């Protein structure tokens, strides 16, 4: 895999896009030409990304051009393996930004990787290698101004986790997400194993995940993030992966989203409820009963036993999932307070936000004294507005 040997002198974006098309066309001739042109394509994007790829959407277009090309269609297995090799062996951040996006789209947009000719052993090798390799950058670059690289890694990791979940869910029940494995071979979730192995060293990856969920407006990314959180909260080895302070932020985000999500986002609302259940049941947050009454009132509104002006429920599955959350010991002993959900806006949380920020400051001060890393303070009042920053 030679570096880009051709020297380009581009004058405008039109020449940039024309050259991309030319590279893909030249790669149609032979297998060797395809491999050479793939390297050239990646090198070309890495070299000119600052000038002509202003947004992730621009890079997405480049990824689609590659995957929709005749060059890739004729040599998909070989070229995918080559992209993986570059991602695993190269350290240049600009190139990694390109190759990780290619893999993200290959896995997330073009379906389940395990259903392609993509070799299972190579898939597992890459997952183990890339997650372990890139865990340290996500930890130690958390304070950098440009976090594009970090979040690209996180999104790729979220995509990996989803693939493991799909591999282990051959017969998923739509109502409760319970899978009937029977004789199906269980695939080890390498992402969860890596997080469990690092649980006592640093939790910055977890902080970044919750921070990203807090400000994310893309339903697809929200869903991927929630799937990872669900896996963490149902796995005993990672029950207490997150700092308590970060779990409090997560509760705030869940409350906000369950109230704010539109009717057409019922599947996303149900996924938030599926995450809320093990969060309240299995994590150390159980000992604090944080926002116990607010959670209770929210669930009552979701079930539909009150005349809430904020939530319109059309799904019995949502009601059943909310009812299940009500049964956890976290909410035991609460007397129904119907006036709470009727007289107070669920988004009128200024005083509650002050408390979470105060808690963040206290915990962060404590961590500074003990040498622990601080958590992301991300209390939220309205969708997309971050009150407390990292």
**Which tokens in the block code for residue 256?**
């906000």
Q: Establish if 49 belongs to a structural domain.
A: yes
Q: Establish if 325 belongs to a structural domain.
A: yes
Give the total number of structural domains in the chain. Answer: 3
Same domain (yes/no): 350, 259: yes
Same domain (yes/no): 272, 353: yes
Q: Establish if 178 belongs to a structural domain.
A: no
Q: Establish if 20 belongs to a structural domain.
A: yes
pLDDT tens figures, 103-112: 887 766 555 4
Same domain (yes/no): 249, 365: yes
Same domain (yes/no): 234, 305: no
Distance CA 269, CA 298 (A): 12
- Percentage of the chain beyond pLDDT 70 is 63
pLDDT of residue 351: 43
pLDDT of residue 372: 38
**Which tokens in the block code for residue 332?**
């035991």
Picking from 126, 65, 58, 134, the residue whose alpha carbon sits closest to that of residue 93 is 134
Question: Angle formed by the axes of helices 93-108 and 31-52, to 10°?
Answer: 110
Same domain (yes/no): 164, 286: no
Same domain (yes/no): 37, 47: yes
Q: Establish if 126 belongs to a structural domain.
A: no
H-only helix segments in the chain: 13-26, 31-52, 56-67, 70-74, 76-89, 93-108, 120-140, 148-167, 190-197, 204-215, 219-234, 244-260, 266-282, 292-303, 316-326, 338-343, 350-370
Distance CA 259, CA 140 (A): 35
Same domain (yes/no): 255, 310: yes
Same domain (yes/no): 331, 311: yes
Same domain (yes/no): 253, 385: yes
Same domain (yes/no): 195, 270: no
Q: Establish if 376 belongs to a structural domain.
A: no
Inter-residue contact 113 to 72 (CB < 8 Å): no
Inter-residue contact 245 to 359 (CB < 8 Å): yes
Q: Which residue segment(s) compose the domain that 201 sits in? A: 139-149+156-168+186-241
Same domain (yes/no): 251, 293: yes
Q: Establish if 294 belongs to a structural domain.
A: yes
**Which tokens in the block code for residue 321?**
């999932």
Same domain (yes/no): 218, 145: yes
pLDDT of residue 382: 33
CA distances to 268, 289, 293 from 248, in Å = 20, 10, 14
Q: Establish if 220 belongs to a structural domain.
A: yes
pTM of the model: 0.58
User: 172 forms bridges with which residues in the sheet?
Assistant: 179
Q: What is the pLDDT along the chain (390 residues), one digit of tens a residue?
A: 444 456 667 778 888 999 999 999 999 999 999 999 999 999 999 988 888 888 888 888 999 999 999 999 999 888 987 887 787 667 788 888 898 888 887 766 555 454 444 445 445 555 555 555 555 555 545 555 456 767 777 888 888 888 878 877 654 444 444 444 444 455 678 788 878 877 766 667 888 899 989 988 889 999 999 999 999 999 999 999 999 999 999 999 999 999 999 888 999 999 999 999 999 999 999 999 999 999 999 999 898 765 555 666 668 899 999 999 999 999 988 754 443 444 344 444 334 434 443 444 444 444 434 333 333 333 333 333 222 332
pLDDT of residue 202: 63
């Amino acid at each position: 895999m030679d570096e880009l040997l051709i020297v380009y002198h581009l004058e405008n974006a039109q020449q940039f896009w024309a050259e991309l098309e030319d590279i893909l066309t030249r790669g149609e001739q032979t297998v060797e030409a395809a491999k050479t042109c793939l390297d050239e394509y990646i090198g070309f994007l890495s070299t000119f990304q600052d000038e002509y790829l202003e947004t992730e959407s621009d890079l997405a277009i480049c990824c689609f051009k590659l995957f929709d090309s005749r060059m890739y269609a004729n040599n998909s297995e070989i070229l995918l393996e080559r992209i993986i090799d570059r991602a695993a062996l190269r350290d240049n951040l600009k190139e990694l930004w390109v190759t990780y996006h290619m893999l993200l789209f290959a896995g997330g947009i073009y379906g389940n990787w395990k259903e392609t000719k993509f070799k299972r052993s190579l898939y597992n090798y890459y997952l183990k290698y890339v997650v372990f390799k890139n865990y340290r950058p996500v930890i130690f670059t958390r304070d950098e101004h440009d976090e594009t690289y970090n979040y690209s890694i996180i999104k790729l990791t979220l995509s990996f986790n989803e693939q493991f979940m799909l591999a282990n869910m051959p017969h998923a029940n739509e109502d409760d997400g319970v899978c009937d494995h029977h004789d199906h071979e269980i695939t080890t979730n390498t992402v969860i194993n890596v997080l469990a192995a690092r649980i006592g060293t640093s939790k910055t990856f977890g902080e970044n995940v919750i921070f990203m969920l807090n400000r994310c407006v893309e339903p697809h990314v929200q869903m991927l993030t929630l799937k990872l959180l669900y896996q963490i909260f149902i796995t005993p080895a990672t029950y207490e992966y997150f700092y308590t302070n970060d779990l409090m932020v997560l509760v705030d985000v869940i409350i906000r989203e369950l109230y704010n999500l539109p009717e057409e986002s019922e599947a996303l609302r149900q996924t938030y409820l599926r995450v809320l259940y093990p969060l309240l049941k299995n994590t150390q947050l159980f000992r604090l009963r944080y926002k116990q009454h607010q959670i209770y009132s929210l669930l009552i509104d979701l079930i539909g036993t009150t005349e809430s002006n904020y939530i319109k429920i059309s799904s019995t599955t949502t009601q059943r999932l909310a009812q299940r959350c009500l049964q956890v010991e976290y909410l035991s002993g609460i007397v129904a307070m119907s006036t709470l959900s009727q007289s107070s806006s669920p988004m009128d949380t200024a005083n509650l936000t002050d408390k979470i920020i105060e808690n963040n400051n206290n915990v962060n001060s404590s961590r500074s004294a003990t040498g622990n890393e601080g958590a992301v303070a991300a209390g939220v009042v309205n969708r997309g507005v971050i009150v407390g920053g990292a």
